[in-house]
Structure 1
Amino acid sequence: MKIKTIPLLIIPIIIIITALYSIYSFISMLHNMEKTALATIIAAFIGLCGIIFSQWQSKKREISESHRENKIEVYQIFFDVVRELRDQQRMNSELSTPEEIFENYKDQFDKLNDGIVLWSSPKVIKAWLKFKSHNSGPNNPEDILIAVDNVYKAIRSDLGNSNFGLQHGDIIKMYLSDPNELKKK
């Protein structure tokens, strides 16, 4: 058993020694160079790093923009379901149970789940799971509204919008007839 562990200890030591020797050799080479050649090499290296960084940022932005339309389509399902539930509640003034909601909107929630898995950030996935867990048991309406608000904030963040300055529950208050109603509960 000890015979097998000795080579495993020696390999990292050899790699570290080789890396340190390479760095020392490189620094010695730079130290012995003419100052103008050294300045040229440093400028070229900085320029190359700048080009690589800008290309990486451009590619990242391009990928983000290509996914944006798909994300908006998925998130619109959530907005539509919330709007329908809000309108139903205003007409009936009777709240559906979470089980009834998930049964009535099963197709939309299935589409939403698929879209969230494919296109959403981890923050949206976690907010969606928290929303679903709030709706799987007995909860007061304020908890559900706050869970919806958290999904809205995660969606905004995923689409590149800032939530800076928004307080807890601010987005969902926009949809309430009395924005102070959330505090009263």
Structure 2
Amino acid sequence: MPKPHRLEKPLDSFVREIALCVATHGDKGPALFWPEDFDTLPELQRLARSGRPPEGRPYRGGARSRRSDGQTQRLGAADPETELLAAALGELLDLRVRASYRFLPSAAVGARQASAAAEYIVTVLEGACRCRVTRDTGVAGGPAGDAVDLRLRAGGTLFVPRDHAYGLLDVHTPTVLMELVLGEQH
């Protein structure tokens, strides 16, 4: 019988840190943290690179890596190792977790991502951007609640709880993000 795949130490440590962050801040508000293990960021970058096709070629989901309008672009399905990371996190939290990557070209403005029914983990793998997290009032076009402005840099991980929204702004260098969506319970 084949052995089940296990995460390498830096990724396993990262999954456990995310689970602790969600347990600690889940009903309190957003949180920003950096992985304790120095090898985590290079391992996450390796995962992101392993799923990339040669420059100019579409990603697995058919999405293009760059758009001419400067908007962010979701890169499509994650590679098998990233899916393993998502599954390990889902098992710890007893939630469905979906992983994807996002590329933000220079001068991009990211789409607003509301999280009414889900929580988000956003990790900057390369580059940097400004992120605005607001409480989602649920009123279309209505005013947002409390806002937090953050500068996210490579290695930073942001937890966005339910009933909050985040927007990615001020991208001055190409930026790659890993996004984990924590959904409903199994």
- Going by fraction, where is strand more abundant, 1 or 2? 2
- Report 1 or 2 for greater relative contact order, CA contacts < 8 Å, sequence distance ≥ 6: 2
Larger radius of gyration between Structure 1 and Structure 2: 1
- TM-score of the two chains, using structure 1 as the length reference: 0.24
Structure with the larger helix share? 1
